[in-house]
């Protein structure tokens, strides 16, 4: 009878699962920016090294952002999906890794050509061709990921695990570049998703980062594209 009055501990609440909308935001940003890169290379006048330096710096930032994003998936996301999503994940993760390798090869080729072009502003068409190919592969990869990986992630990855991807590789960027990357994603991004990306930031960060990121993007867009609002992009 004494057991009738025993207090039972409640079952622990199920963990919140991943909100994958920020992945769509990242993909939209990458597709938008990489789509424009071939035209930027082709638009630099032969020998205009000042303009070449601005375009090359922009390209370097985008390539680094893409590489770090994929490193985070390799380190955090694929192991979780393999463990929890069974054979369905095995096939799709293998395809993702194959596409990552193809993108890495294009990034390596761009890195090989960039220093000479930055210094001479000659043969920009070669880099434009590399980025044409890179954009094609990137679109194929991100569309497949959105269709086949993100549904699995919503079901199998917790919110805390998902946030580890955002934190992965942040040391690869200076504070200035992090603000610019955030500004790139804010541009045309869903305000609710942008706000959610800062949930774990201190109050001052939640207030200042959007303002500073927007300002950094406007200055950068004017320097690279000639339009602070980037409305012609």
25-35 pLDDT, tens digit per residue, is 999 999 999 99
pLDDT at 226 over 70: yes
Residues β-bridged to residue 17: 158
Q: What is the pLDDT of residues 154-169, one digit of tens each?
A: 999 999 999 998 888 7
Per-residue pLDDT at 139: 99
pLDDT at 194 over 80: yes
122: left (phi over 0), alpha (psi -120 to 50) or beta: beta
Burial zone of 96 (CB within 10 Å; 0-12 exposed, 13-18 middle, 19+ buried): buried
Is the distance from CB of 18 to CB of 161 less than 8 angstroms?
Answer: yes
What proportion of the chain, given as a percentage, has pLDDT over 90?
77
Alpha-carbon gap, residue 179 to 183, rounded angstroms:
6
Helix, strand, coil content of the chain in percent (nearest 5):
80, 0, 20
Ranges of CATH 1.20.120 domains, the chain: 19-34+49-171
Residue in the structure block whose two tokens are 């991004």: 189
CATH number belonging to the domain at 19-34+49-171, selected among 3.40.50, 1.10.10, 1.10.3470, 1.20.120:
1.20.120
Per-residue pLDDT at 233: 47
pLDDT at 62 over 70: yes
Residue in the structure block whose two tokens are 């935001």: 25
What secondary structure, in 3-state letters, does 28-57 show? Answer: HHHHHHHHHHHHHHHCCCCCCHHHHHHHHH
């Amino acid at each position: 009878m004494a057991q009738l009055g025993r207090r039972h501990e409640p079952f622990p609440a199920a963990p919140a699962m991943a909100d994958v909308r920020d992945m769509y935001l990242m993909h939209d940003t990458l597709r938008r920016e990489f789509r424009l890169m071939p035209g930027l290379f082709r638009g630099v006048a032969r020998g205009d090294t000042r303009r070449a330096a601005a375009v090359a710096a922009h390209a370097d930032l985008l390539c680094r952002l893409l590489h770090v994003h994929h490193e985070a998936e390799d380190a955090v996301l694929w192991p979780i999906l393999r463990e929890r999503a069974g054979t369905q994940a095995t096939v799709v993760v293998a395809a993702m890794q194959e596409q990552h390798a193809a993108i890495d090869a294009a990034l390596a080729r761009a890195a090989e050509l960039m220093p000479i072009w930055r210094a001479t502003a000659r043969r920009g068409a070669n880099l434009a061709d590399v980025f044409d190919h890179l954009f094609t592969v990137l679109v194929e990869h991100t569309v497949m990921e959105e269709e086949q990986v993100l549904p699995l992630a919503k079901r199998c990855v917790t919110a805390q695990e998902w946030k580890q991807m955002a934190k992965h590789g942040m040391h690869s960027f200076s504070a200035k570049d992090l603000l610019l990357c955030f500004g790139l994603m804010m541009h045309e991004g869903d305000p609710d998703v942008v706000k959610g990306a800062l949930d774990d930031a201190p109050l001052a960060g939640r207030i200042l980062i959007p303002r500073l990121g927007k300002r950094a993007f406007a200055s950068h867009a004017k320097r690279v594209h000639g339009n602070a609002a980037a409305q012609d992009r």
